[in-house]
Amino acid sequence: MNILEQIIADKRLEIAEQKKLRPLEDLRAEVSGIGNRPDFIKALRATPMGLIAEVKRRSPSAGLIRDPFDPEAIAKDYESHGACAVSCLMDNKYFGGGAEDFSSVRNATGLPMLYKEFVIDPWQIAHAKVMGASAVLLIVGALPDEELVSFIEEAQALDLRSLVEVHNGEEMQRAIDAGADCIGINNRNLKTFVTTLETTFELTAMAPPECTLVSESGIKTPEDVVQLKAAGAHAVLVGESLLRKTSPGDAAKRLMHLV
């Protein structure tokens, strides 16, 4: 069992417990009172190269990334230095995130937020809406085709965007076939944890012209961003390399200064 499979197995147990505490019907009843947040894709497309800046305490591959960790201060720092959107981790067991961090970030910034989670149940999509997200992450490698299509439609019905994440050509084709209009190309192989920007360079050619492409993982220098833009990416999602700096916001500004 690779790390993604292990995380998904644990996530199914976690969400089963969450649904007992807060049934899907209750969440859906709350949705009607939630106003729409800023459009995620429009925000990414409003600049020559969009930046989704990530709020993340730790990861299985990197271990502890930032300590002390202040989600609110990080979010404000990102916004004041030009980030287009903020990604916030929802998984606690492996990434140290959760609803408390998400709420802290939501209260600190007016930017569109990505509900960065291993989504395996419609409950999480409704929860994302109630929490104030503008978009949800859907990982192709974690979902069969029928669920992928269904979850994209479920998100659309709630006026949420879907960032559909792929890792290889087969997953890229599945995302396209499912109707994804915003695809995240993860440069990290979740089975080996090897990271290479070549993944983005290879997969951008497959995307439909109207699709918004986001390159994720392993982006460390302004030159990386320039190369990814030239390859066809419209935005980057960056966390670790920013969060290791004293000011993540200043690091974000410097990362994007060539585009």
Q: What are the phi and psi torsion angles at 186 (to 5°)?
A: -85, 120
E strands, the chain, are: 50-55, 58-59, 63-64, 85-89, 113-116, 135-139, 161-166, 182-186, 212-216, 235-238
- The answer to whether the pTM exceeds 0.85 is yes
For 120-165, write each residue's pLDDT tens digit. 999 999 999 999 999 999 999 999 999 999 999 999 999 999 999 9
Q: 123 in helix, strand or coil?
A: helix
Whether residue 220 is predicted with pLDDT greater than 90 in this model: the reply is yes
Q: What is the pLDDT of residue 15?
A: 98
Which residues, at least 6 apart from 39, have a Cβ–Cβ distance to it below 8 Å? 112, 134, 161
The CATH number, out of the four listed (3.40.50.1220, 3.40.190.10, 3.20.20.70, 3.40.50.410), of the domain defined by the range 3-255: 3.20.20.70
Q: Are strands 85-89 and 63-64 parallel, antiparallel or unpaired?
A: unpaired
28-32, 68-72, 100-104: which range is least confident on average?
28-32
Cα 184–61–125 angle (5° rounding)? Answer: 45
Place of tokens 């271990």: 63
Residue type, 185: I
Q: Is the peptide bond before 68 cis (omega within 30 degrees of 0)?
A: yes
- CA distance linking residue 15 with residue 123, whole number of Å: 8
Q: Is the pLDDT of residue 194 over 80?
A: yes
Q: How confident is the model at residue 81 (pLDDT cuts 50, 70, 90)?
A: very high
In the structure, what pLDDT confidence band is assigned to residue 192 with cuts at 50, 70 and 90? confident
- Count of residues for the chain? 259
Q: Which residues of 225-256 are buried (b: 16+ CB within 10 A; e: fewer)?
A: bebbbebbbbbbbbbbbbbeeebbbebbbebb
